[in-house]
């Protein structure tokens, strides 16, 4: 009987701890800079969010690139983004849509296939998406620029 109680308690503890351990730790700035194809100071505007379930939020926004910090030759000056937010998975990083304003935006090149199987490359938000945004400040910009020079 006691052995069964310990087993049940162990399972309950695992069930309680597993959502906490599912939180993805934020990447280091160096890792984020190295993994991104493009980094830019960007202005987010026209941010709209809609709740699509009790655990997820859909977000759309317009992006205007103010200054390229890495790989800016291929990056369009204006574009729209859309992504999902899962607040319970990413701790404090992105529990709601970002506010309109200036951000450092991390972007990657991603291969996609269309319905006919034709592969192409698109520019996408850094993954996981909550880590694609960092609120802008001059010190962060300087740190990123020093990391891109190394």
- The Cα 23–Cα 98 span in angstroms is 19
At 141 the pLDDT is 94
| Domain range 1-149, CATH architecture | Beta Barrel (2.40)
pLDDT at site 20: 42
Mean pLDDT in each 10-residue stretch from start to end of the chain (150 residues)?
A: 42 40 71 94 93 83 94 88 73 67 93 89 84 92 89
97: its two tokens: 């849509």
DSSP E strands: which ranges in 5-77? Answer: 38-53, 56-70
Q: Residue ranges of the domains in the chain?
A: 1-149
**Confidence (pLDDT) at 112:** 87
pTM: 0.77
């Amino acid at each position: 009987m006691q052995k069964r109680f310990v087993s049940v308690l162990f399972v309950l503890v695992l069930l309680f701890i597993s959502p906490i351990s599912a939180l993805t730790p934020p990447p280091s700035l160096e890792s984020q800079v190295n993994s991104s194809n493009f980094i830019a100071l960007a202005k987010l505007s026209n941010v709209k969010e809609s709740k699509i379930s009790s655990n997820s939020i859909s977000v759309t926004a317009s992006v205007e690139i103010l200054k390229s910090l890495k790989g800016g030759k291929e990056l369009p000056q204006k574009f729209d983004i859309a992504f999902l937010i899962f607040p319970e998975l990413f701790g404090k990083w992105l529990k709601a849509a970002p506010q309109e304003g200036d951000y450092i935006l991390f972007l990657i090149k991603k291969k996609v296939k269309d319905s006919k199987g034709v592969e192409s490359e698109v520019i996408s938000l850094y993954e996981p998406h909550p880590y694609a945004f960092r609120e802008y400040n001059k010190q962060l910009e300087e740190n990123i620029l020093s990391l891109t020079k190394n």
